[in-house]
Amino acid sequence: MLTPEAVREGFLAFSRHTEHDSPLYSRLSPLIADDEDLVRLCQCGRMPISNLFLGAVQAELAKSGHPLREWYPQLAGGPARDDDPWPVFRAFVLEHREAIRGHLTTRRVQTNEVGRTVYLLPTFARLAAGRPVALVEFGASMGLNLCLDRFRVETEAGSFGDPNARLTLRTSWSPRESTPTDGPPDVVSRVGVDLHPLDVASEADRDWLRALLWPEQAERRPILDLAMQIAQELRPRVWQGDAVEETAKHALLAPADAVPIVFQTHVFYQLSAEQIERFHASMLGASRERAMWFVSRHDDLRVTRYEDGRARGFVIASPHHHGRWVREWTWPAELDALCE
């Protein structure tokens, strides 16, 4: 059970965080923090409570014809209202409090952001060096990023990935002369591990990922829908489990002719230093049986080669958290040598 102070602080911090990208959430958050009834309702949830609660409200709103829709750009069906949403918002929450409580006690913030594949795609293609790859994702959520070989990326200086893809992502790449031209890697197996996997075959799980998008970020919705369609066809397998313990074992099971690539994006911030250290130790142990790569977006984008119980890491870029831009991309010659 969260304390009222933790709930209030969560919403006040979220208000600052969403100032530019979600004016609606930024405006509602301090009012929620100040409302005793809503704070009490939120106490049954978990952190990050602001994203979880506002996702729960949006999940219910998407199913209803309530006038609150008029303030949500993705649900308004025309230009959204920008007068005071608070009385209508509060009334909606109180009318739907039991359904919202249901989401707060069963759901988690598990945003599966395919924009992150703009930097994973060329990284995997280069590590593959023309050979098949076996992908193993640490904290895969619904596993959408395991389908990245079916995506294409456009930049100001050219495109890369699958030239015939239905799903095109856009990013700004620098330095411009380092813009990738790689085709997609040949993915022969796609496996994820998550504490609470979302199932792409479940309409409720697909709706939950839609509800986690911020209301003003309309451009993310068609991309998410297309990625979920592609994942329904490819069906990447996301195992339920603790990836700290399980990921390296899956990498060892990769097809013999494939290059095992383990990766994580935006999961390590949810782990303790001790968990990250244990994962590193399990990769070192597994690498005595088989060499493998680890690609990680934590602060920077880092590639680590695990081989014979040793690890060598390289920072290769500094990407935006949703992949809007990729900066300082560099591919050391030593990395190419390790791929041979």
Segment contacting ligand SAM by CB under 6 A, of 79-87, 128-136, 266-274, 301-309: 266-274
278 binds ligand SAM (CB under 6 A): no
Binding test (CB under 6 A) with ligand SAM, winner from 15, 29, 112, 123 = 112
Binding test (CB under 6 A) with ligand SAM, winner from 193, 213, 230, 248 = 193
Q: Give the integer Cα–Cα distance in Å for 160 and 154.
A: 7
Q: Which own/partner contact pairs does 1-5 have at CB distance under 8 Å and 24+ positions apart?
A: 1/43, 1/44, 2/42, 2/43, 2/44, 2/45, 2/46, 2/47, 2/49, 3/43, 4/39, 4/40, 4/43
What CA dihedral angle connects 174, 176, 177 and 179, to 10 degrees? 70
110 binds ligand SAM (CB under 6 A): yes
117 binds ligand SAM (CB under 6 A): no
244 binds ligand SAM (CB under 6 A): yes
196 binds ligand SAM (CB under 6 A): yes
Least distance CB 269 / ligand SAM (angstroms): 8
Q: Give the integer Cα–Cα distance in Å for 198 and 194.
A: 9
Least distance CB 25 / ligand SAM (angstroms): 17
What six digits make up the tokens of 272? 């303790």
Query: Which is closer to ligand SAM, CB of 274 or CB of 340?
Result: 274
Site string for ligand SAM, 60-99 (x = CB under 6 A): ----------------------------------------
Binding test (CB under 6 A) with ligand SAM, winner from 50, 265, 287, 296 = 265
Tell me 69's DSSP state. Answer: G
Closest chain position to ligand SAM (CB): 139
Query: Which is closer to ligand SAM, CB of 80 or CB of 230?
Result: 230
- Tell me, what amino acid is at 78? G
Q: Give the integer Cα–Cα distance in Å for 227 and 239.
A: 19
CB 82 within 8 A of CB 24: no
Which segments of the chain does DSSP mark as H helices, in order? 4-17, 23-33, 36-42, 49-62, 86-95, 97-106, 117-128, 203-211, 220-234, 243-252, 273-286, 333-339
Query: Which is closer to ligand SAM, CB of 139 or CB of 185?
Result: 139
Least distance CB 291 / ligand SAM (angstroms): 23
Tell me 199's DSSP state. Answer: P
Binding test (CB under 6 A) with ligand SAM, winner from 266, 278, 280, 290 = 266
Strand partners, 187: 133
DSSP readout, 70-116?
A: GG-TTTSSSSPP-S--HHHHHHHHHHTHHHHHHHHHH-------GGG
Among candidate residues 332, 267, 271, the one with its CA nearest the CA of residue 303: 332
Segment contacting ligand SAM by CB under 6 A, of 40-48, 169-177, 180-188, 194-202: 194-202
282 binds ligand SAM (CB under 6 A): no
Segment contacting ligand SAM by CB under 6 A, of 12-20, 78-86, 105-113, 210-218: 105-113
Count of positions on this chain that bind ligand SAM (CB under 6 A): 20
Q: Give the integer Cα–Cα distance in Å for 67 and 85.
A: 10
22 binds ligand SAM (CB under 6 A): no
Query: Which is closer to ligand SAM, CB of 235 or CB of 312?
Result: 235
Residue ranges in contact with ligand SAM by CB under 6 A: 108, 110-113, 116, 139, 141, 145, 193-196, 242-244, 265-267, 270
